[in-house]
Chains A and B, each alone.
Chain A
């Protein structure tokens, strides 16, 4: 930020909003991490913890939205502040969806942990790490107004999509060879799908950061893969 707001109470309100957003993003990252460990380490306790954490993330979403509305109504912000508030308002929605997807993965992990292990999910943890880093970087890009980092997030989504395609092909092969594996195979495929959607959400957030910083709307410009039902 080049300069501070002359009204220090306003500056403080925006700082608080930024802190809350970071806190929420941290929680969501933790949930992704937990969901992956629950899956890889076959630890259903961790999975249940992840499911519990979702309530806190939902609470964050409501609180942050509420603060956005309040600042909009009372301060009538302009320019970069207006963009920051509206983007924050949208990004908490995306973050909350990422949290829900982490819950979905945790639920699948509980089911999978109850059965025999399928095979080492070597590409799934890699995908999980990648998505986690994308969510973290998208939030960092917002808070530090760093469009380069945001661009980087958008680029990484291609990797996520490629990984998903590979995992999908692997699982298909596995399931065709042995119908016994279909149920577990579908669970694993779902996990991969959830991760892929998380990547899309991270990409959306990154695009909004670019708009916030440059004031340029890069959404729906040029090519954009539209896997996952995210709007």
Chain B
């Protein structure tokens, strides 16, 4: 039985009947979920539960993988993003993404990396490039560290700085939503704390959906937490409830470390 959630006001995403396949393997088995606008929604669950696949459906990155397929609807601003008329490239400018491994473009400088989204899609106007770069880097809490070396290669930064550069790059195209797929799993605790602090400052202006297999991280940064297990949404509630008194036995067993 899929978890039913009573309708909420002003959802960012209304997901219903979402099924996703890799080849013949069904990895999402009919997800019903309404992700509220604003704040941080964390998605937790064991490896292979479909949490990464789920957020990759939210910006249609899932379909890039050969043999991947999706069914069901994801409504964003009144429009089903899986509709054939929707241009995935335009959708992805609204719904940005930050990946597990920091992936700044190695041939580009820090400045070019921030502007990459605009340059790639030829929407850059050159005249306010400097403004965009500074604003995005400030938002990503990286400006003070790199303002004197904007013309150095982005790949010369530390792992944590690279990840913040990737966040700045996502912010520069002015999205509404930022999806984060285990953004700290390759970082040390200090770099992780910086990213988490950044997430706190971004939650005011963006809807953030973060996938993490670090439960403590989900507990620290999120307002709401969804627990996925074997392709199903088991429980979705405010983070305090999930981590102190979850209502489903599977959730409780997962967060207390009892796996089969």
Contacts and interface: CB of A to CB of B under 8 A. Distances in A.
Interface string A179-223: 000000000000000000000000000000000001110000000
Contacts of B258: 2-6
A129 B215 CA distance: 46
Interface in A164-180: none
B257 A80 contact: no
Interface stretch (B106-114, B152-160, B244-252): B244-252
Nearest to B219: A78
Nearest to A213: B245
B244 A79 contact: yes
A10 B249 contact: no
A83 B245 contact: yes
A7 interface: yes
Given A3-B253, A5-B258, A79 B216 contact: no
A79 B246 contact: yes
Contact of A77 (B253, B256, B260): B256
A7 B256 CA distance: 10
Interface string A1-39: 011111100100000000000000000000000000000
A81 interface: yes
B202 interface: no
A78 B245 contact: no
- Taking chain B's interface residues, is the majority helix, strand, or loop, or is none over half, making it mixed? helix
The winner among B215, B216, B255, B260 for most chain A CB atoms within 10 A is: B255
Interface string A79-113: 11111000000000000000000000000000000
Contacts of A77: 256
A227 interface: no
A78 B256 contact: yes
A216 B241 CA distance: 11
Nearest to A2: B249
A40 to B, nearest CB: 44
Nearest to B253: A3
Contacts of A81: 256-257
A76 interface: yes
Contact of B255 (A78, A214, A215): A78
B259 A79 contact: no
Interface in B210-228: 215-216, 219
Contact of B253 (A2, A7, A82, A216): A2
A6 B256 CA distance: 9
A215 B244 contact: yes
B257 A5 contact: yes
Given A3-B260, A215-B244, A79 B249 contact: no
B259 A6 contact: yes
B105 interface: no
Contact of A10 (B219, B246, B251, B257): B257
Given A215-B244, A215-B245, A80 B259 contact: no
B243 A78 contact: yes
B219 A79 contact: no
Given A2-B249, A4-B258, A79-B245, 5 more contacts: A2-B253, A7-B257, A78-B257, A79-B243, A214-B245
Closest 8 CB pairs of A and B: A215-B245, A78-B255, A3-B258, A79-B255, A81-B256, A79-B256, A79-B252, A6-B259
Interface of B: 215-216, 219, 243-246, 249, 251-253, 255-260
18 contacts: A2-B249, A3-B253, A3-B258, A3-B260, A6-B257, A6-B260, A78-B244, A78-B256, A78-B257, A79-B244, A79-B245, A79-B252, A79-B256, A81-B257, A82-B243, A82-B244, A214-B245, A216-B245
